[in-house]
Chains A and B, each alone.
Chain A
């Protein structure tokens, strides 16, 4: 039965179905409702977990690191500055091969301080060795959380995973959400039983010093796991999820009206809903246009992206983050991918649009306008208001 719920509450209740043993988080908008609901579930004994009120996001991440290393399933969530404060620990969690699962409720980064949505926070830690998934809607956010543990905790993977949801749009929005039964989730998710953990019966040293003779291999091992085990597992888990719960899960990408598309929009997260509406409208007037929605950003599904986009004439990359002084980051990665694989002729032209930073709304009409103008641009900040610039520069 579907329940009409706020995104944050729906995610918290889904996490509870996954039975984490330790939850630690620090308050930050717009993530806070997730941990508040988890605190309620622990308090009312619906979730058998330790809920730790820590003194910072750095400690929230460190706390779940310690608990995960002790062999217990863990959960945390954060946003924006909180994620940046965790950054050091996130690299550490990945390097220590701990399957910490988190939600990042994506929000702009200061300064100026701004609590509204974009994806600059998570994109800034893309290199940490974390599996990164992006949800389009609340249902998918919940579904990805269930899959997250199964992917991260696989004994051949053992890497952290962050499910990304757009701040406010998904965290505070309401949607009818379908919840699986506890029984079905228990069947889908095996118990977390790591091979290596802090155990007085079998003492091990975790987090040792590694010199130049070993460090390179430790980092290579993460790359190798990302490109092989994780790539295999995500597809398998998505298929198994679809079969078990009777609801489609896409895995790496969702191809929307791509078959004969000459122009393709590429984007991540909730903005894909708006883009799909624009595409529907354009299709209605006979335009050959589609959307490639990227769900798995790390590992970057290189071959899938290349194969999906190579037949297009034009690719418009729409992203809510930027590498200031360079280009949009997804744009850079896609163009780099095509350059390194440019064995074929007639490859698409790419244009990069930076949109919606700090919560600026992006409308269907603006997407249609991008299509119609069909510019060739490396980077364009969409909807810059000239009258606002005077005070900044």
Chain B
């Protein structure tokens, strides 16, 4: 069992990197690579993860790791996969192309779309902390409605882009969502993804104390609430068919999730903010209905 004492033991993403306290992404990345094992090659878009783990002459990565540019990890991974195929090693090595939300859903989406459409044998992962955190908390296409960022100081006016649906539209063999408060769930999904040949997509919500303006000790609690409010449903699709939904016994109020985060503070101080909170409740209603999130009462 993973706990706070043994999580670094034998990890392929070693401690000593420079991620912030309470970073959801560093935890998720560690869980992913440890579930993937040492026969794995990682291609990484520019972003927090690459910056905090590869400051020359150090590196936290004990697997082959390549960072090239902000938007091209999917294309770089395509090249790696092709090279491995040429060398006859494709079947033996797990390949990951990973990015933050901006690197994945905005500037990198074209390359990920290309990878998915070609069905490259790669696990693509979006570590979603819902804004451009590495450059100072600017709004991305995955920033949720109402969120205050440095480029949407009055609150983001748009809804979060639905990456899961976009991946499904590309016929990915496996599409799943995950949350950092459930480490074994992440690792099971990673292993499942690697066991399938073709393009896979895992979308992990990663709390970011810096950008979410939350207490560093609350990251896991916030992650848990993201799921238990019904805002972040945990889903698994195989070949386009929904095969698994994490059911909830009951729904936690969305306010509990929003109140822990400074980025939503303004929603509680204005009439417009209240409307946005009502909108969040509608998002929950839609999720509950669409994915049948609630356990059936006996």
Residues of A within 8 A of B (CB): 21-22, 24, 48-50, 52-56, 58-60, 62-72, 74, 88-89, 92, 96, 198-200, 203-211, 214
Show 7 residue pairs from A and B whose CB-CB distance is below 8 angstroms, ordered by the A residue: A22-B79, A52-B78, A62-B111, A65-B72, A65-B75, A69-B66, A207-B54
Chain B interface residues (CB < 8 Å from chain A): 38-41, 43, 50-51, 54-57, 59, 61-69, 71-72, 74-80, 82-87, 93, 110-111, 113-114, 117-118
B82 partner, pick from A67, A71, A198, A206, beta carbons under 8 A: A67
Chain B nearest Cβ from A91, distance in angstroms: 9
Is there an interface contact between B83 and A67, defined as CB atoms closer than 8 Å?
A: yes
Tell me the complex Cα distance, A160–B82, Å: 19
* In the complex with contacts A92-B69, A199-B64, A208-B54, A63-B110 CB distance below 8 A: no
In the complex the two chains form, what is the Cα distance from A74 to B76 in whole Å?
Answer: 13
Q: A53 vs B115: C-alpha distance in the bound complex, in angstroms?
A: 10
The residue of chain B having its C-beta at the shortest distance from the C-beta of A59 within the complex is B75
Q: Which of B50, B51, B62, B72 contacts A62 (CB 8 A)?
A: B72
Q: Which residues of B contact A206 (CB under 8 A)?
A: 64-67
Known contacts A66-B77, A199-B64: A89-B72 contact under CB 8 Å: yes
Cα–Cα distance between A204 and B86 once the two chains are bound (Å): 21
List chain A residues, Cβ under 8 A from B54. Answer: 205, 207-209
A62 touches B79 (CB 8 A): yes
Verify A63–B78 contact, CB threshold 8 A: yes
Contact B110 A56 (CB under 8 A): yes
Are A72 and B75 touching (Cβ within 8 A)?
no
Contact B79 A70 (CB under 8 A): yes
The reply to whether B68 and A92 contact each other, CB–CB distance below 8 Å, is yes
Q: A65, B68: Cβ atoms under 8 Å?
A: yes
User: Quick one: which of A55, A62, A74, A200 has the most chain B CB within 10 A?
Assistant: A62
In the bound assembly, the distance between CA atoms of A251 and B219 in angstroms comes to 61
CB distance from B198 to the nearest CB of A (A): 16
Known: A205-B59, A208-B67. A55 touches B111 (CB 8 A): yes
Q: CB-CB < 8 A to A22: which residues of B? A: 79, 82-83, 86
Chain B contacts of A58 at CB under 8 A?
71-72, 75, 110-111
Closest B residue to A55 using CB positions? B114
Given contacts A69-B66, A208-B54, contact A21 B79 (CB under 8 A): no
Inter-chain CA distance A54–B80, complex, in Å, is 14
Contact status of A49 and B86, CB under 8 A, knowing A200-B40, A209-B51: yes
Q: Closest CB-CB distance, A101 to chain B, in whole Å?
A: 14
Q: Contact at B75–A66, with CB atoms within 8 Å?
A: yes
Please name all residues of chain B whose beta carbon is closer than 8 Å to the beta carbon of A211 when the two chains form the complex. 55-56
Q: Which residues of A contact B66 (CB under 8 A)?
A: 66, 69, 198, 205-207
A71 to B59, CA, bound (A): 21
Q: How far is the CA of A221 from the CA of B136 in the complex (A)?
A: 32
Q: Among B39, B50, B63, B76, point to the contact of A209 (Cβ < 8 A).
A: B50
Given A58-B71, A72-B86: A200 touches B79 (CB 8 Å cut-off): no
Can you name 20 extra interface pairs (CB under 8 A) apart from A65-B75, A207-B54? Answer: A48-B86, A50-B83, A52-B78, A54-B75, A55-B111, A56-B114, A59-B75, A62-B72, A62-B78, A63-B79, A67-B82, A68-B79, A68-B83, A69-B66, A70-B79, A72-B87, A89-B69, A198-B66, A198-B80, A205-B59
CB-based nearest B residue for A213: B56
Given contacts A55-B114, A210-B56, contact A65 B86 (CB under 8 A): no
Give the shortest distance, in Å, between A215 (CB) and chain B (any CB). Answer: 9
Contacts of B110 in A (CB 8 A): 55-56, 58-59
Distance of A194 from chain B, by nearest CB (Å): 11
Question: By CB atoms of chain A within 10 A, which of B61, B74, B79 has the most?
Answer: B79
Q: How far is the CB of B209 from chain A (nearest CB, A)?
A: 22
On chain B, the residues within 8 Å of A48 by CB distance are 86
B113–A204 touching, CB < 8 Å? no
- Of B62, B69, B74, B85, most buried by chain A (CB within 10 Å of CB) is B69
Q: Are A70 and B43 in contact (CB under 8 A)?
A: no
- A153 to B: closest C-beta gap in Å: 15
**A70 and B83 within 8 A (CB):** yes
Taking the closest CB of chain A, its distance from the CB of B211, in whole angstroms, is: 20
Residue of A nearest to B90 (CB): A50
- CA distance in complex: A70, B83 (Å): 6
Name the A residues within 8 Å of B93 (CB-CB). 200
Contacts of A207 in B (CB 8 A): 50, 54, 66-68
Q: What's the Cα separation between A48 and B75 when bound, in Å?
A: 21
In the complex, residue of chain B having the shortest beta-carbon distance to the beta carbon of A22: B82
B residues near A60, Cβ cutoff 8 Å? 75
What residues of A have a CB within 8 angstroms of the CB of B68 in the complex? 62, 65-66, 89, 92, 96, 207
Q: Which residue of A lies closest to B71 (CB)?
A: A58
Instruction: Select one of B67, B69, B74, B83 contacting A88, CB under 8 A.
Output: B69
Closest chain-B Cβ to A281's Cβ sits at a distance in Å of 50
Give chain A residues whose Cβ lies under 8 Å from the Cβ of B63.
200, 203
Which residues of the partner chain A approach B51 to less than 8 Å between Cβ atoms?
209
Q: What's the Cα separation between A207 and B117 when bound, in Å?
A: 27
List the 6 shortest-distance A-B pairs measured between CB atoms, nearest first. Answer: A66-B79, A62-B75, A70-B83, A55-B114, A66-B76, A59-B75
Contact A50 B82, beta carbon cutoff 8 Å: yes
Q: Give the nearest-CB partner of A200 in chain B.
A: B39
**Nearest Cβ distance between residue B108 and chain A, in whole angstroms?**
10
Complex CA–CA separation, A68 to B40 (angstroms): 17
In the bound complex, do residue A59 and residue B72 qualify as a contact, i.e. CB atoms below 8 Å apart? yes
A200-B39, A200-B63 known; A208-B79 Cβ under 8 A: no
The complex places the Cα of A141 from the Cα of B120 at a distance, in Å, of 33
Given A55-B113, A55-B114, are A203 and B62 also a contact pair (CB < 8 Å)? Answer: yes
Distance in Å from the Cβ of A60 to the closest Cβ of chain B?
Answer: 8
A78–chain B nearest beta-carbon distance, Å: 14
**Chain B residues positioned under 8 Å from A62 (CB to CB):** 68-69, 72, 75-76, 78-79, 111
Nearest B residue (CB) for A52:
B82
Residues of A within 8 A of B64 (CB): 198-200, 203-206
A200 CA to B67 CA, complexed, in Å: 16
Contacts of B55 in A (CB 8 A): 208-209, 211
- CB of A380 to closest CB in B, whole Å: 40
Q: Is B79 within 8 A of A53, CB to CB?
A: no
B33–chain A nearest beta-carbon distance, Å: 11
| Chain A residues in 8 Å Cβ range of B118 | 52-53
